[in-house]
Amino acid sequence: MSEEKRRHRKFRTGLVTSNSMDKTVIVSLVRRFQHPLYKKVVRKTKKILAHDEQNSCNVGDVVQVVETRPLSRHKRWRVQSIVSTVQTAND
């Protein structure tokens, strides 16, 4: 078994909440599901830290993140691409 298997990586799409750290952004991931008993659609938000190598993400951008090896104590995700950017007042 000398061949190393590459695992299937998880992809998620979320909204950039904060970019105040160097090469790190906070991404909010929203999960919607139906409550098993009450049948109401429930929204749950999870905040993750993602690695942004070029510091190109701004607050409000929609980004796609991919699971990666642990980069620090809390960072296990990397920004794959920016899906859509937010329009600022300066643009």
CATH at residue 19: 2.40.50.140
Cβ-based neighbours of 32, under 8 Å, separated by 6 or more? 41, 42, 43, 44
Residue 3: what pLDDT? 63
Residue 6: what pLDDT? 73
Structure tokens at 53: 């190598």
Contact criterion met (CB below 8 Å) for 28 and 14:
yes
Cβ-based neighbours of 14, under 8 Å, separated by 6 or more? 27, 28, 29, 30, 48, 62, 63, 65
Interval 27-50: pLDDT, tens: 999 999 999 999 999 999 999 999
**What's the domain range around 80?**
11-84
Locate all alpha helices (DSSP H) within 1-91, ordered by sequence.
none
User: Is 1 part of any domain?
Assistant: no
pTM to 2 decimals? 0.84
Measured distance CA(76)–CA(67) in Å, rounded? 6
> Above 90 in pLDDT, residue 80?
yes
| More confident: 86 or 31 | 31
User: Is 48 part of any domain?
Assistant: yes
pLDDT (mean) for 3-23: 89
